[in-house]
Amino acid sequence: MNKLETFKSSLARSKSGFIERLNFLIRGGDIDADFYEQLEEILISGDVGVHTTLNLVSELKNEAAAKKITDRQTFRSLLADKITAILIAPSQPAEPETIPQLILLVGVNGSGKTTTAAKLAGYYKAMGKKVMLVAGDTFRAAAIEQLEIWSERVGVELIRQHSGSDPSALFFDAVNAAKARGTEVIIGDTAGRLHNKYNLMEELNKIYRVIGRNLPGAPHQVILVVDATTGQNAISQAKKFNEALPLSGLILTKLDGTARGGIVVAIRALLDLPVLFVGTGEMIEDLAPFDAETFTTALLD
Amino acid sequence: MFSGLAEKLQSTLRQLRGKGKLSEKDVDAAMREIRLALLEADVNFKVVKDFITAIRERAVGHEVMGSLTPGQQVVKIVNEELTKLMGDKAGVLSAARKGPQVIMLVGLQGSGKTSTAAKLAAFLQRSGKKPLLVAADIYRPGAARQLEILSEKIGAAFYGNLADNPTQICRAGAAWAEKESFDPVILDTAGRLHLDRQMMDELVAIKKTVSPTDVLLVVDAMTGQDAVNAASAFNEAVGISGIILTKLDGDTRGGAALSVRAVTGCPIKFIGVGEKIDQLEPFYPDRMASRILGMGDMLSLIEKAEAAVDRSKARELEQKLLRQQFTLDDFKDQLVQLRSIGSLEDILNMLPEGTGIPKEMRQMSLNETNFKRIEAIIGSMTKKEKIDPSIINGSRRRRIAMGSGTNVQEVNRLLNQFAQMQKMFKQMGSLEQKGQFKKLKKKMKKGFLF
């Protein structure tokens, strides 16, 4: 299955919601007065958010008027272009890869960090890399055990300490172990925390500083894990986490539900954070790199 | 919690409040603002539509136009409709006809079922019950172990058996509870997608086997527009009797609460307000509506304060406040007491907007470090300075900063905050003299401020 097919099949399970109605609206017919209002409603109901929706629709209105577009079919490709343009990440200059690379996963409680850490480990292992998982959630009961089971399933090394221990110290040790063992990719799980909890965000910043001190340039990526069912609060999450430590991008999880990528559009429109991967199921291999064009095509197909 | 939504609604409603006469255009403009505020708060767009229609109908009707204070009348209508939308009574658990109560928790992945199961058990323990926690999640690695650890932490009984299927586990758990007279039984089921037919059937099978007294849907308060889809799917497939809303201690505007309640018709029974095991509270719709509208949740605050504050000390403080003899020492005492009630932010959120607490104070973050610094600054003052901070000049400020290991800016900030607080208490004091404070208190007890 190619990338497009994978996307389509994961989206197909929930055609009843946002996408189907969007398609219904876009297919055929002329654009009438009601059309824009309906479109607004549909984008909002897909979690695109009021602000982004109003901007998007008013831009479309102007363009459609300027280009004298009156049929829905042409309008549709205009919309697709627009959404893709928002979603597409500017290509970044390839950085020289230092070893080990450290990827830190952060996010609110229940967004899927631990599962995503395991999936990422599987992803890099499949690329032939030597991977290490770090059980950085020392707070939630049995979070360490959870990642331990995953690490056995994936077949990668796990660095852990006892529950309740200081995560900064754990990461310090993990970096040393990785250096000694020639590990290429370190994937660090962290405890879920709400972004408005000052002390917990400070703790995260400390982890960040300790890692950077022990391994210059690290963490090479800090990824915010966002549940796709999250509403507008995801924007606040991205902002606040980004204030605590510089984020490099997002992973959108649970995209196999009925909640559909609308929040991605909002996040990309408001913040300069690329979506790196999407999670589409409970299996290790249910993680795919995010591709804006494919995503938009699947979304509007 | 809900603060963003509250602010938006308030500024809209404030514009109406003062108006002596209300045109249909005024109402339309206000309705548009309310609509946008609710949508931005993640309230489902269909729910918003119905809500606006209901308010508009009443607002342009005789009820308002004929009133002497139409603006206030609209505010009252919004409050009433909001309360109605959230359900009209506090959620309670259903009683069992015979045998133990069986409470089944269901929901999407990551909504917080396992933590909530333990919190619910702790909540019931506080009222003298002997709960049994049953781990029916055999899919997520470590889920059963997580519940087991939590049950040990609170000293509740635990049942789990990873070799069985979830239905068998629940049946065996319920049977064991009957034998050992554990009551209630709390079933923690695996998180699942409402689209997953097979997994939904599993819930139906469990429900059929153990006939729970309550099936509670656990919903993440940060959920967006999709909350209604998941909630109605769970309700249609399994049949739920109530909702538990989790992670309300975030900065979410919490529209999911309104949506889920509206589409399922099931009451919100509990809310999760923190990571600590005792941070699960019964849900009071009227209090929450007041909170959204910025009228404060005085009842919750009073209850919490009563639990935490020494009564005679409180009376002494009240007197001091009214006589305007509130010193920096009292300020420090207050901070200590406040911290035993909850975070300052939580408390300020519960206060009605009308009490004139300056915005800067509302935003003043009282985290541990900050608190220690404030304590150190006050501790570095002389007795005289604490009683009359107006004598603290530049050189005193430098000395205090040196003594407390802080800097002059921080000392200044604290003194400013204190001055604002004193000003606020002065206003409250003059209200008291006019007898208005009592009136205000009386109104608060009734749940309104108008």
Task: Give whichever of B6-20, B70-84, B169-183 has the largest mean pLDDT.
Answer: B169-183
Q: Is residue B18 part of a domain?
A: yes
Q: Where in the sequence is the domain holding B348, given as residue range(s)?
A: 298-444
pLDDT band for position B35 (50/70/90)?
confident
In a domain, B95, yes or no: no
Q: What is the pLDDT of residue B446?
A: 40
Q: Which residue pairs, CB below 8 angstroms and at least 24 apart, start in B123-128?
A: B123/B270, B123/B278, B123/B280, B124/B184, B125/B154, B125/B155, B125/B156, B126/B278
pLDDT interval class at B108 (50, 70, 90): very high
Instruction: With beta carbons less than 8 A apart as the criterion, state whether B111 and B218 touch.
Output: yes
CA B220 – CA B272 distance, rounded (Å): 9
C-alpha to C-alpha distance for A62 and B99, rounded to whole angstroms: 67
Chain B contact for A109, CB < 8 A? yes
Residues B11 and B73 in one domain: yes
Task: Give B448's pLDDT tier (boundaries 50, 70, 90).
Answer: very low
Domain assignment present for residue B91? The answer is no
Q: Which of A62-66, A258-262, B425-429 has the highest mean pLDDT?
A: A62-66
A134: β partners:
A159, A188
Query: What region does A142 belong to: left with phi over 0, alpha with psi -120 to 50, or beta?
Result: left
CB contact under 8 A, B109 and A112: yes
Q: Which among B256, B366, B307 is positioned nearest to B299, based on CA atoms?
A: B307
Measured from the Cβ of residue B181, the count of other Cβ atoms closer than 10 Å reads 10
Nearest CA in chain B to A153: B141
Residue B25 lies in a domain: yes
In a domain, B340, yes or no: yes
The answer on B407 and B368 residing in a single domain is: yes
pLDDT band at B1 (very low <50, low <70, confident <90, very high): very low
Boundary residue ending a domain (B292, B308, B332): B292
Does ipTM exceed 0.90? no
Which residue type does B70 have?
A: P
* Cβ distance of A108 and B250 shorter than 8 Å: yes
Find, in chain A, the residue whose alpha carbon is nearest to that of B44.
A45
Question: Residue A12's pLDDT is what?
Answer: 45
Please report residues of A whose CB lies closer than 8 A to that of B150.
141
Q: What integer pLDDT is reported at residue B342 of this predicted model? A: 57
Print burial letters for A163-182: b (CB count within 10 Å at least 16), e (below 16): beeebbebbbebbebbeeee
Answer whether residue B66 is part of any domain.
Answer: yes
Which pLDDT score, from 0 to 100, does residue B238 have? Answer: 96
Rounded to an integer, the average pLDDT of B93-116 is: 93
CATH code of the domain covering residue B77: 1.20.120.140
* Residues B182, B49 within the same domain: no
Give chain A's end-to-end CA distance (angstroms, integer).
17
Tell me the average pLDDT of chain B.
Answer: 80
Same domain for B199 and B275, yes or no, is yes
Confidence at residue B443, expressed as pLDDT on a 0 to 100 scale: 45
Contact B142 A231 (CB under 8 A): no
Kindly state whether residue B93 falls inside one of the protein's structural domains: no
Q: Does A229 touch chain B (CB under 8 A)?
A: yes
Per the structure, the count of domains in chain B is: 3
Is 50 exceeded by the pLDDT of residue A13? no
Q: Is the peptide bond before A219 cis (omega within 30 degrees of 0)?
A: yes
Query: Quick check: A41 contacting B, CB < 8 Å?
Result: yes
Residues B280 and B338 in one domain: no
The amino acid that residue B74 corresponds to is V
Are residues B112 and B179 located together in one domain of the fold? yes
E-only strand ranges, B73-131 = 102-106
Instruction: Give residue B67's pLDDT.
Output: 64
Give the mean pLDDT of B372-378: 85
Look at residue B123 in the predicted model and tell me its pLDDT.
95
Using the 3D structure, point to which of B54, B86, B118 is the last residue of a domain: B86
- Rounded Cα gap, residues B226 and B195, in angstroms: 13
Query: Would you state the pLDDT for residue B332?
Result: 76
pLDDT at B444: 43
Looking at residue B449, its pLDDT comes to 32
Mean pLDDT, residues B168-184 taken together: 95
pLDDT in tens, A196-247: 888 899 999 999 999 999 999 999 999 999 999 999 899 999 999 999 999 9
According to the model, what pLDDT value does residue A186 have?
97
Cβ distance A110 to B110 less than 8 Å, yes or no, reads yes
Q: Are B182 and B252 found together in one domain? A: yes
User: Is residue B149 domain-shared with residue B263, that is, in the same domain?
Assistant: yes
B97 part of a folded domain: no
Same-domain check for residues B113 and B261? yes
Supply the pLDDT for residue B60: 77
Higher pLDDT, residue B152 or A44: B152
Tell me the CA distances in angstroms from B336 to A98, B274, B309, B331, B447, one per residue in order. Answer: 49, 20, 10, 9, 28
Cis (ω within 30 of 0) for the bond into B212?
A: no
Contacts of B432 (CB under 8 A, 6+ apart): B322, B438
Q: Which of B272, B292, B312 represents a domain boundary (last residue)?
A: B292
Residues B339 and B213 in one domain: no
Q: Measured between CA atoms, how close is A165 to chain B, in angstroms?
A: 16
Q: Specify whether B181 is located in the same domain as B258.
A: yes
The tens digit of pLDDT for each residue in A110-162 reads 999 999 999 999 999 999 999 999 999 999 999 999 999 999 999 999 999 99
